[in-house]
Amino acid sequence: MSEAGPAIDPIHQFHINPIAPLHIFGIDASFTNASLFMVVVLLAISFVMVLGTSGSHIVPNRLQTLAEMAYEFVASTVRQTAGDAGMRFFPFVFSIFMFVLFANMIGLIPYTFTVTSQIIVTFAFAAFIIGMVLAYGFYKNGMHFLNLFIPSGVSPILLPFIVLIEVISFASRPISLSVRLFANMLAGHITLKVFGGFVTLLLGAGVYSLLAPLPLIGIILLTAFELLVAFLQAYVFAILTCVYLNDAIHPGH
């Protein structure tokens, strides 16, 4: 692959290329490869969930097992983290979890585009989640929601500092939530590409081509590890969504 290309560029996989240019009122709304893979992710999720839930056999087939496992997993996560009152957010958390999981998993297939390796995508998710936490927190608890920033049992002298620290800590949530997912995906894919580059470089290096299988073994191990990371990051994203929603449902710790 790299012999044809001018150089091995591990960043090239993250380039966004417009497929169908579209400019609405001066805003670049082109259909890009990122949009294409978002559609692919949505189609894959719809395929699994619609076909998986259409049969409802007593002895489930593979797709139904997958759909039921995903449901049970997310439902137990939501119930354990946000309580029974959090179950009204189950559709939201489930959608987020499935989208992130499928985007991560599909991104691991060679020649595909990883939607979650774009910080704007993960930040849009995180900002939406935090915005929803704020909106629901104020809607449900009114001004009592601000108790979230006032821990009980703090001396009045320290209270302004603690409140300031709590506010900064809350404001950092969307950033840490988005950067974690984005950085994990970006770093994993760059690492895989760099190891792949080692293989091609070693193959063209005379005697040292004997060493070429070593990075190849590394790629195999890293791919397995990336599968684990892809799942874990989707899980962490979902569970943190639940934790933040729990703050909105039950503020004041």
The reply on whether position 159 binds another protein by CB under 8 A is no
Binding of another protein by 180 (CB under 8 A): yes
Under rule CB under 8 A, residue 246 binds another protein = yes
The answer to whether 239 contacts another protein (rule: CB under 8 A) is: yes
Token couple for 12: 């090239």
Report the C-alpha gap between 73 and 94 in whole angstroms.
Answer: 9
Of 90 and 235, which CB lies nearer to another protein in the complex structure? 235
Eight-class DSSP state of 2: T
Smallest gap, in angstroms, from Cβ of residue 120 to another protein? Answer: 17
Q: Are 203 and 212 a contacting pair, CB within 8 Å? A: yes
Phi, psi of 169 (to 5 degrees): -65, -40
Q: Quick one: tokens of 118? A: 């774009």
**Cα–chain-centroid distance for residue 160?**
35
Minimum Å gap between C-beta 98 and another protein is 19
With CA atoms as reference, report the closest residue to 116 among 185, 207, 204.
185
Asked whether position 221 contacts another protein by CB under 8 A, the answer is: no
Q: Is 183 in the site for another protein (CB under 8 A)?
A: yes
**Contacts with another protein, residue ranges (CB under 8 A):** 77, 80-83, 161, 164-166, 168-169, 171-173, 175-176, 179-180, 183-184, 228-229, 232-233, 235-236, 239, 246, 250, 253
